[in-house]
Structure 1
Amino acid sequence: MATERETQADRQLCGLVKDLASQIEAHLRARAATLGLTASQGTALRELSHPMTLRELAERMSCEPSNITFVADRLEGQGYLERHPHPEDRRAKQLILTPKGVELRDRLLELLSKDSPLAPLAPEEQDVLQHLLTRALIR
């Protein structure tokens, strides 16, 4: 059974992770807004590093594919992405950024890198944090 000290340390660590996630979300929301995007649209653009299906994007955004449909529809309507037939699965469509979408994604990534909640960490420290969080998530 966990000791009181272990329980308290676990609770503190969970609080820190939650606070960092909240700061990252607020940072994304603010930067996306400067480009006329919602937080969900900003997250989708950040994650669309290559062509992917709605399901793949939903997994990366930790939500249901049905929720991503609206976001993809808006981005498509704004000319930032297109749906193309999947080359290997005729039932699926791939989301592919248009040149206008690539340009917007690049601008968003640049904005996100400025004053990031992770900026106080040196690149090596960010690598260590990524490694530790990845280990914690793998079960």
Structure 2
Amino acid sequence: MKNSNQNASVFINGRAQIIEMLQLMDPSEKEKILKLIRIKNPVLAEELHSKSISFFDIQNLSEEGLERLSGVIKPAIFGMALKGLAANVQKKFLSSLPREFAEQAYQTMTTYYTNEKELGARARAKVLEIASSQAFRGKIS
């Protein structure tokens, strides 16, 4: 009985583990794996693609994609998400976003919070969740 429960949990967590691995891969490796999966199961490949979005993927969105994303994310959340990232990544995001949104996000970035690491991690998770949702709906790519 215990083995069947363990096997079931491995099966259930398999998709989540694949998504986590895809998030850590560089884009060329990720795309190569998704192409192979797409041959056998296009629906699964699309789901994995949309749910495995990382900040690197968001960073490489077109300005139009970033503008669409900024329409559904609050500037304060985006600013907090950027807070723990490298300065060159922050600069790339802020220069690509609509000016008013970028200014509000920058204001959050430059404000000190006592629990910045926790808030930053939660904000990054929220941004990735929203980006995944938007990608799954075909609103960004």
Q: TM-score by structure 1 length?
A: 0.31
Q: TM-score by structure 2 length?
A: 0.31
Structure with the bigger RCO (C-alpha within 8 Å, sep 6+) is: 2
Question: Hey, which of these two has a bigger chunk of strand by percent?
Answer: 1
